[in-house]
Structure 1
Amino acid sequence: MSDSKSEMLSTIRKALSEVPDSESPGDVELKRDYLQKGKLSQSEIVELFAERVGEYKATVQRVKESNLKKVIAESCKRENVTKLVIPEGFDKELLPVDIDPLFDNLGSPLTHLVLDQSDGVITTCAHAVAQTGTIILDAGEGQGRRALTLVPDYHLCIVREDQIVELIPEGFSAVESSVTKEGRPITFISGPSATSDIELSRVEGVHGPRRLEVLIVKD
């Protein structure tokens, strides 16, 4: 065991030695005096979300409901997407007529090879957070399993204005029941996949889509 690890474990043991054996984590009240509710109007929240998502190098478009199908078709054409992964529960009426849809469902899931050979995936979302420009997926209708949004190189995500909250605590509260009652996996997406090495050389597409496009739909 390394000296640093031994020192860390020793510090933990020393701290725990002062805790009574009869005490449980639930006996200690946690202070939650941080800001839990935003103060912006819904229009300001949507504007902030669009700005923050754009800062992550994602493509952002504000779309009217009546134009959504047309914009989806234009995005697929611009990105040269023909083989498009479709999660279970996604509205098929929104799909372009000139694509090759790859439908994924629990009874017959697409293989990782098929996902890798696809041109992209289109999904809805559960919620979004303006504060950090984050999209939240909870594997619900139109979102699919986690692999669908990790393997394809392009992710076209539909976010409706009423799904956007201002702060991170509000986002956690919004998906709390998905976790505690339904046990769904939660995925947080803040821009296209990217990482940097020790010399800060940016590499995109390492652990998710290299290209992220967000369509913010006005109800």
Structure 2
Amino acid sequence: MTARDEILAAVRGALRNADRTEAAVPRTYRSVAAADVVELFASRVVEYRAALTRCTAAGLPDAIRTALGPARKVLVPPGFPVAVEGAPPSTALAEYDAVVTTAALGIATTGTIVLDHGPGQGRRASSLVPDVHVCVLRADRIVPGVPQAVAALDPARPQTWISGPSATSDIELTRVEGVHGPRTLHVIVVTE
């Protein structure tokens, strides 16, 4: 009997099952110790060629100022937790050099930040158009893996998952950054 015949026989047998009960699917995901999530997240963010800064809540304004560098027109979404200089009001996203947002959570195993576009995060386009994205994430909002992130997020809210600065590769695998979004991603992890 070939592998194909075995598979088809298994499918036929399953279809003949009168009670049509669903088999339990084991969900044995790799786990990360809670003490290690911030360190793992930090290392993965850097692997994705994003910048990373750690600071306390008191040091956040200075960390943001440093991360923004020479950016002069900074978009700050409503509900952002601290005052940021250089945020003139405008309706045209293309006029901004940078955006500063918060994040709903971070995922340690992938180094991903997730925006659910709540307070301080703005609409999706605001995290894609400016050339620099500075994202502030509280350390207690970092979860070990994707299953925990999916469980913690509201599926009815829009979500943007970001792993590093925007990048693509051409046919010769030459990496080009900033084609589909910010060329620079700077994640600031705030510890208490």
Q: Is the 8 A contact 2:116 2:159 kept in 1?
A: yes
In 2, are the aligned partners of 1:123 and 1:157 still within 8 Å (CA)? yes
**Does the aligned pair in 1 maintain the 2:99–2:132 contact within 8 Å?**
yes
In structure 2, C-alpha distance between the alignment counterparts of 1:207 and 1:31, rounded to whole Å: 37
> Cα distance, 1:203 vs. partner?
1.2
- What secondary structure sits across from 1:47 in the alignment? helix
Between Structure 1 and Structure 2, the one with more helix by share is 1
User: 2:138 aligns to what?
Assistant: 160
Q: Secondary structure at the match of 1:203?
A: strand
For these two proteins, the number of residue pairs brought into alignment is 179
Shift of 1:48: 0.8
Correspondence for 1:190: 163
| Pairwise CA distance, 1:87 | 1.1
Question: What is residue 83 of structure 2 aligned with on the other side?
Answer: 94
Q: In the aligned structure 1, how far is the partner of 2:183 from the partner of 2:44?
A: 18
The residue type paired with residue 150 of structure 2 is: F
Cα deviation, 1:116-147, whole Å, max 9, x if unaligned, reads 22101000000100101000111111111110
Partner of 1:150: 128
Distance 1:205 1:73 in 2: 22
**Structure 1, residues 151-196: CA drift from partner, whole Å, max 9, x if none?**
1111000011000011111111111xx21xxx21111100000011
Could you tell me which of 34, 45, 55 is aligned with 1:41? 34
Runs of 4 or more consecutive aligned structure 1 residues displaced over 4 Å after TM superposition: 17-20
User: Is the 8 Å Cα contact of residues 76 and 84 (structure 2) preserved in structure 1?
Assistant: no
Query: Are the equivalent residues in 2 in contact too, given 1:56–1:190 (CA < 8 A)?
Result: yes
- 2:161 maps to 1:169: no
Work out the percentage of aligned pairs sharing the same amino acid.
43
- In the TM superposition, 1:25-174 aligns within 5 A as 28-29=22-23, 31-35=25-29, 38-42=31-35, 44-76=36-68, 78=69, 80-91=70-81, 93-96=82-85, 99-102=86-89, 110=91, 114-174=92-152
Residue 41 of structure 1 and its aligned partner are, at CA, apart by 2.8
With the length of structure 1 as denominator, give the TM-score of the two structures: 0.74
Maintained 8 Å contact 2:127/2:182: yes
Give me the whole-angstrom Cα distance separating, in 2, the residues matched to 1:139 and 1:84: 18
Asked if the contact 1:62/1:215 (under 8 Å) is kept, the reply is: yes
| Residue identity matched to 1:208 | G
State the TM-score, normalized to the length of structure 2.
0.84
Q: Report Cα offsets for 1:51-72 as digits up to 9, x if no partner.
A: 1000111010111111111121
RMSD over equivalenced CA pairs, Å: 2.3
Unaligned runs of 5+ in 1: 1-13, 21-25, 104-109
Distance across 2 between alignment mates of 1:30 and 1:115: 48
